[in-house]
Amino acid sequence: MKNKAITIKDVAKQSGVSISTVSQILNGKSDKFSPVTVAKVQQAKADLHYEPDYFARRMIMKTSKTIGVLVPDITNPFFGELIRGIEQVLYQANYITMLCNADLDEAKEQGYLAELSHRGVDGFIIASSAVSNQAINASLQTKQHPFIVLDQKKAEGFSDAVLTDDFEGGRLAAAHLKQLGHQHVAILMPAQASANVQQRLAGFKTVYADADIDRIDVSLSKLGGRQAVPAILKTAATGLFAVNDEIAFGLYLGLAEAGKQVPRDYSVIGYDNVEMCEYVTPQLTTIAQPIFELGQVTAEILLARIKNPDQPWDERRLPVKLIERKSTAHLN
């Protein structure tokens, strides 16, 4: 015979207080009661091995203590580090992270937004540019769901946002290649680039004129970098700027397959500074984003929004820096 489930009524009876008192103490409002009362309730809970019913608690408290996080490609280590920063802050605040990997699929991303909304998450972190502002407005804003956009997407005045200084990152990459004597360069980026990548291009163009830049369209992946090599070999470029580290790693393999060496034949600079940059040979010169901090700040701002929905929009822009390693060298 199945044992009867322990309820909040049982805890109240065991501790000698009202059901209302038990409910408030177990839901984080113990400061309203004396330490003796709180101790009685906690002891009764422990003695009876009471576990609150998740769905009942959600109905009472009007909160799920869950945050939906939408990323475009979890295979990119950038997003793994980003999630670590987000999760650290949410865990400390007793929230659960519900991760949705959209595989760069716009329809899938919009479906996830709708499903997360249906499941009653308390807030949304959107780290993908594919979801249109119109879709966000329809799925989240009109329903007054707290959300924040970051990294790849601009808030455009309708939400909180955390960004990094992509314009300066592009400028730093170009200035580094220019300083090394590279007169003709190539930039590897998607044909339909997100707003943050477009800012990297704009910053890059403050150093190099259009005539000195070959733009090569690639996907934001190792495969994209590898497949771009035949197009690179047809250019006069000696310096290569990959708009993320994944592309740069693909370049390494593609160039090696073509009998070329980094940095003897081509200087390569990436973007993000994921951990693998230090483990490839040669170690990758890159523009470092504060990825973990980006995640932390994003989660902190969203939790503040949940607590105070009417506060002014908050937009943060974090700095980037050049990390010079072994993949770039002076042009001989």
Compute mean pLDDT per 10 residues along the chain, 332 residues long, and list them: 71 88 80 88 87 58 79 88 95 90 76 78 81 62 74 60 94 98 97 90 97 96 96 97 97 98 97 96 97 95 90 90 97 84
- pTM beyond 0.85: the answer is no
pLDDT of residue 1: 39
Q: Which class in CATH covers the domain with range 8-61?
A: mainly alpha
Q: Is 299 helix (H, G, I), strand (E, B) or coil?
A: helix
CATH 3.30.310.50 for domain 66-163+291-318: no
Q: How many CA atoms lie within 13 A of 208 on its CB side?
A: 31
- The full set of domain ranges for the chain reads 8-61, 66-163+291-318, 166-289
Backbone φ and ψ of 323, nearest 5°? -110, 105
**pLDDT (0 to 100) of residue 206:** 97
pLDDT at position 55: 52
| Residue among 157, 160, 162, 116 nearest 140 (CA) | 116
Fold of the domain spanning 166-289: Rossmann fold (3.40.50)
Pairing mode of beta strands 213-217, 185-189: parallel
List the one residue out of 182, 200, 282 whose CA is nearest residue 239. 182
Give kind and range of the element (H or E) at residue 77.
Answer: helix 77-92
| 152-168 residue pLDDT tens | 555 555 678 888 999 99
The beta strands (E) that lie in the chain are given as 66-71, 96-101, 123-126, 147-150, 160-164, 185-189, 213-217, 239-242, 267-272, 285-288, 315-318, 321-323
> 66-163+291-318 and 166-289 share one CATH topology?
yes
